[in-house]
Structure 1
């Protein structure tokens, strides 16, 4: 019964509220909450899926310099990483070539050692057969049995000579066998190094291919006018960096002339302008950065390390203010890029994939240091 009374009371309250909310009530009366809109007969609107743009590319309607700057930075970073991998590839390739030559040389040494041992064994066999033909008696025993004093004296000399020859023969045979064992061990170790270098070379090749493909894909995602503006941004950034470098007074004391070898290297490098950059290439139709500098100095009569990192590690370093034409400028903290200084604040370089060997400002990139191949 109590429950029935509660329900009835609730119904009464609801009805009272409905009456109070009716139109025409006096001021101060409670207004009923608005009714929900009538259901529409048209299907509900569906929001379009969000547009997913490549990294660094602004969505349609928001394109601008800032987004292209991001793209430029990402592309530069990808090509920098490709350049570093290229250096690793070139070093591995150089080691593969050298280690292959070492393995071939050791194989030749092993063959020569085997032939030498075979010849020594034949000599030892001949000596044994000679003793057999003498009745199996050693020379000393046969000498004791002779009754001719002169033959005895002559025999003593021959026995001494024979003993020395036998000792020398056995010693040479032992050394030949030891050398053969050493050659075999060295060949095995060298082969393992060769396989390791080949693996590193293939790993670097994959890394290069991946980075360059990513950079090209990012460039291809831009419209034609964006690509043109991107190229202009690259030129503007290089010009700004070069201007800042020149304004710093970096060229104030740089007035030295090239050495005779340096002039030849510069002439060679300048003659390559317009040829395309190809990673791992060292001419004559295309170059990467260190392929250009190493070949230029080979043309000048001096062989230098193949990679920019090894050029930085092995060649004598000079201060920037002591730089002269023919010197090599190493760029970035990982020494992943190199160019040749040609004077007046300019360099010849093979920049990156998609670009040609060109004349550029020496200060357009972050300089790590300078090395001199003919110091």
Structure 2
């Protein structure tokens, strides 16, 4: 029996010694969770930034709608005030006529004729009174129409105001979503080492351009003089002037921008009014193939067009990338679903 126990005892002792040696060398047990890799962390941050950007575009869309509704409410209030003033004037005019009739005693016309010492003069006055009475009736009918119109305007104004409140709630909801996603992204980024964060900043959305500067073009761009006097060229020149300014979600410049806000500001400097959101900017002109892109064209990304840039030439775009980054150049094919729109 002893000969059978010896190999087992040796095996157990050998395993214990191996475990002790592994512990002394700092080995991690197979069951331990080594944590996410830097690549997985970068993927998580990219996903959170993308979701935050989509929520930002939702915020911009809701804010644009709220702005339009605020203008509509203001116009409705002005119209109601003017309508009420008009009704007050009409009431005042009718009240003056009624008062004059009351002061005259409201005597029956037939009796007044019998008592009149000058029937011809009375008949002339009676004819004039008939005309005044007819005008008074017409004015009264107009007053009633104005009152009905004002009542309808009040109903419509209440509906617009209710829609504005709903839009404000939608703005607040998108704002909470953006802030939540960005807070999550900041927590994940905080887990990276300094070197890993620098590597993320270099590689993010740039096709792993590890050696290119964060804010400079990776390829030679057309000289400003070669862009010509067109409005598209003016938009590119404006976008170039914004290089290095920070990304701030919901911002439209001039000191900070989100992606679609940079486009709105750049094209505004060229005298062109663009929609506020990147999804609407995709349809702000005619579609052209990427191979025919020209400086000044809008370039939108992803299936929902939740990111947008301006084509700068030689395969480069200028855009506001994501929170924590600054307006910079990147390759035109930095993301999927590239669409080019010529404004």
TM-score norm. by structure 2 comes to: 0.79
Q: 2: CA distance between counterparts of 1:138 and 1:81?
A: 82
- What is the aligned partner in structure 2 of residue 62 from structure 1? none
- Equivalent position SS for 1:237: coil
Instruction: Supply the distance in 2 between the matched residues of 1:235 and 1:95 (Cα, whole angstroms).
Output: 30
What is the CA-CA distance between 1:110 and the residue it aligns to? 2.3
| Distance in 2 of aligned mates of 1:198 and 1:340 | 30
Unaligned runs of 5+ in 1: 1-20, 24-30, 38-44, 59-67, 241-255
Q: 2:71 aligns with which of 98, 101, 107?
A: 101
Q: Shift in Å at residue 336 of structure 1?
A: 0.5
Contact 1:238–1:365, Cα closer than 8 Å, also in 2: no
Matched, 1:209 2:179: yes
Counterpart of 2:216 in structure 1 is none
Of the candidates 330, 335, 343, which is equivalent to residue 300 of structure 2?
330
Contact 1:345 1:362 in 2 (8 A): yes
Change (3 A) 1:139 1:166: farther
Q: CA deviation at 1:143?
A: 6.5
Q: Does 1:81 align with 2:51?
A: yes
**Aligned 8 A contact 1:274 1:358 in 2:** yes
Could you tell me which of 140, 152, 165 is aligned with 2:123? 152
2:288 is aligned, of 307, 319, 343, to 319
Aligned length: 315
Distance change in 2, residues 1:257/1:179 (3 Å): same
Tell me, yes or no, if structure 1 residue 220 matches structure 2 residue 190.
yes
The 1:339–1:109 alpha-carbon spacing in structure 2 relative to 1, beyond 3 Å, is same
Whole-Å Cα distance in 1 between the matches of residues 259 and 312 of structure 2? 15
Shift of 1:297: 1.3
Equivalent residue of 1:304, what SS?
coil
- Structure 1 position 104, deviation (Å): 2.3
Match of 1:282 in 2: 252
Of 179, 194, 197 in structure 1, the residue corresponding to residue 167 of structure 2 is 197
Q: CA deviation at 1:70?
A: 2.4
Q: Where do 1:96-175 residues align within 5 Å?
A: 96-137=66-107, 142=112, 147-149=118-120, 152-153=123-124, 155-156=126-127, 158-175=128-145
- What SS is found at the alignment partner of 2:300? strand
TM-score (structure 1 length as normaliser): 0.73
Q: Distance in 2 between matches of 1:289 and 1:338?
A: 6
- What is the CA distance between 1:204 and its match in structure 2? 0.7
Give how far 1:89 is off. 0.7
Alpha-carbon shift at residue 199 of structure 1 (Å): 0.9
Radius of gyration: which is bigger? 1
Q: What RMSD over aligned residues (CA atoms) do the two structures have, in Å?
A: 3.4
2:268 equivalent in structure 1: 298
Is the 1:266–1:342 contact (alpha carbons within 8 Å) kept by the matching residues of 2?
yes
Query: Which secondary structure state, in structure 2, belongs to the residue aligned with residue 360 of structure 1?
Result: strand
Partner residue of 1:187? 157
TM-fit CA distance, 1:234: 3.1
- How far is the alpha carbon of 1:239 from its aligned partner? 4.6
Query: Matched residue of 2:339: which SS?
Result: strand
1:178 partnered with 2:154 = no
1:84 CA displacement: 0.4
CA apart distance, 1:335? 0.9
Q: Distance in 2 between matches of 1:264 and 1:143?
A: 84
Q: Which residue of 2 aligns with 1:353?
A: 323
